[in-house]
Structure 1
Amino acid sequence: MKVFFKNMAVVMTMALTLLSCSNDDANSNVSGEGTLKLEFDNVYKTADLAMNTAYTNSNGEVVKVSKLKYIISNIKLTKEDGTVFTYPKSQSYFIVDELTPASLLLNLTNVPAGNYTKVTFGIGVDQDQFNLGATGQGDFLTQAQNAGMMWSWSAGYKFVAFEGTFTAPTVSSDTSFMVHTGQTGTDYNYATVTLNFPSNALVRTNITPQVHIMADASQLIDGTNTISLTAANGMGMGAMIMGGSNLALITANLANMFEVEHVHND
């Protein structure tokens, strides 16, 4: 019996030591700065998004996507104590393009070490930034122009570009569609998204967390608000949604387009 209790004591001591080491590892180097990566993984409902592949929406329309691009901006990271780190605004504009794999991974450098629980970002270019004029946009204006994410300077940025073809019960041949969000008239249509992390992102000088964000393209027109491409199809030009009441509904859908699937702390 004495041997049993002696062995139990050894096991408990080892367990406490391991727990202590684990806690030390989790809380070591909580000073200085590190890097955090945001990985955007575009999907269509439960399937990985593949270009020119047929997906059926709730309207019975068969959609084939050929383009998906969106602007991520004004990134903020919240720590478990509630403090917020705002990524430098001059560095906080990114174009995510499904056809450009390198663009799907955003590297946020010089992030203060800490345990982060959520991320907030915008979809598009905020109005304050746009109001700085063309000269105030820095290199991002040229980047957006080269990526086709501008209508023109006077018309402004395209916040989301979602394009492809569709068929429907009353549309038998592949018909083009274009969904572009951005400023229209007095409506700016900029959206802000906040996502909670399922586990903390541990930014350290020696740990670079990678936050895996699923972006469901189906939510753009088949989310809380359902938009009919068939109804938008007209005059032999396909379904062109770049303004009108549908654009506000699509902008509202953006809140449910993104979800954090997991966090790697490597």
Structure 2
Amino acid sequence: MYPKNLLYAYALIGICALPACHKGTSYGEGMVRLHVTGTWEGQPFQASQEHHDVLNHRVFVDGLKLYLSDVQLKGPSGQEDLLEVGLFNLTVGEGVSLVKVPAGTYGSLLFGLGVRPDLNMSDPSQYAAGHPLSVSNGTYWTWASGYRFVMFDGRFDTDPNGTGTVLPTFAIHSGKNDCYTTAERLAPSPIHVEPGDTTDVYLNFAVDRFFYTQSDTIDISTDNQSHGENLTLALRFTDCFVQSTTLH
């Protein structure tokens, strides 16, 4: 269970806003540092740089923010909470949160992409500036009474050899409870949390995979706008977002 005071993180570059960040560890407990990262074809993701998608379009990603909810480590003895809700801005680099958990061995990470339904329906005015659900973050859809879950913005060029100014834009903003998706990612090797030590865990989003899965390919030249009204496209992108993730 989460403590009465809301566990949360608002992550930019190495900024942690978890209540547990500055607490010392007691016997039998260790610290887990969760890194949320982005890559493009295995290399660190860099915003506004030229990339090529699976259909060989030139792509410039200018903005990438996303919410994660109910992040937990899962082990033989159960699940341990890392984060209830966090906003990660991968445009500026990896996001990091730090939390204390019981020492032990864990095998997977559970998470929800987006803001889980009960929090998504909450009143954003109750959250102070700096909280991931605060209206100051500009992520709340007033018209939909809910949050944008993933904000994926940029420019594209259908000419793979183009060199001129890239003007056509894409803006994929998923949201609404239908797009909230939970997933589990297995660790490639056991995650050992030792008493008094800090263990690093990385959840990576392969941004180049945001346009396709094994069963679907999204053509950004025709499917490039989603602001809550195009649920079919939002769900297709959500599937790509989730399937792009790996744990290491």
Letter aligned with residue 83 of structure 1: G
User: 1: distance between equivalents of 2:26 and 2:133?
Assistant: 37
- Give the counterpart of 2:84 among 92, 106, 126: 92
**Residues 226/30 of structure 1: CA separation in 2 closer, same or farther (3 Å cut):** farther
- Shift of the alpha carbon at 1:31? 5.5
User: 2: distance between equivalents of 1:219 and 1:193?
Assistant: 16
Letter aligned with residue 73 of structure 1: S
- Shift of the alpha carbon at 1:241? 2.0
Matched, 1:140 2:128: no
- Shift of the alpha carbon at 1:245? 1.4
- Give the counterpart of 2:52 among 56, 65, 84: 56
1:202-221 equivalent positions in 2, closer than 5 A: 202-221=192-211
- Give the counterpart of 2:99 among 105, 108, 118: 108
Higher helix share: 1
User: 2: distance between equivalents of 1:249 and 1:66?
Assistant: 21
- Give the counterpart of 1:251 among 216, 234, 238: 238
TM-score of the superposition, structure 1-length normalised?
A: 0.72
TM-score of the superposition, structure 2-length normalised?
A: 0.77
CA RMSD of superposed structures (Å) = 2.6
Contact map agreement 1:130 1:137 (CA 8 A) in 2: no
- Give the counterpart of 1:65 among 43, 46, 61: 61
Q: Deviations over 1:86-121 (max 9, x none)?
A: 34xxx52111112444x6112122x11111111101
Largest Rg, 1 or 2: 1
User: 2: distance between equivalents of 1:85 and 1:197?
Assistant: 15
Is there any run of 5+ residues in structure 2 with no aligned partner, and where?
1-24
Give the structure 2 partner of residue 165 of structure 1: 155
- Give the counterpart of 1:181 among 156, 162, 174: 174
Aligned residues: 216
User: 2: distance between equivalents of 1:178 and 1:135?
Assistant: 26
- SS of structure 2 residue aligned to 1:163: strand
- SS of structure 2 residue aligned to 1:146: helix
Matched, 1:83 2:78: yes
Structure 1 runs (4+) deviating above 3 angstroms are 131-140, 169-173
Give the structure 2 partner of residue 228 of structure 1: 219
Is there any run of 5+ residues in structure 1 with no aligned partner, and where?
1-28, 233-238, 262-266
Contact map agreement 2:121 2:146 (CA 8 A) in 1: no
Percent sequence identity is 20
Letter aligned with residue 130 of structure 1: N
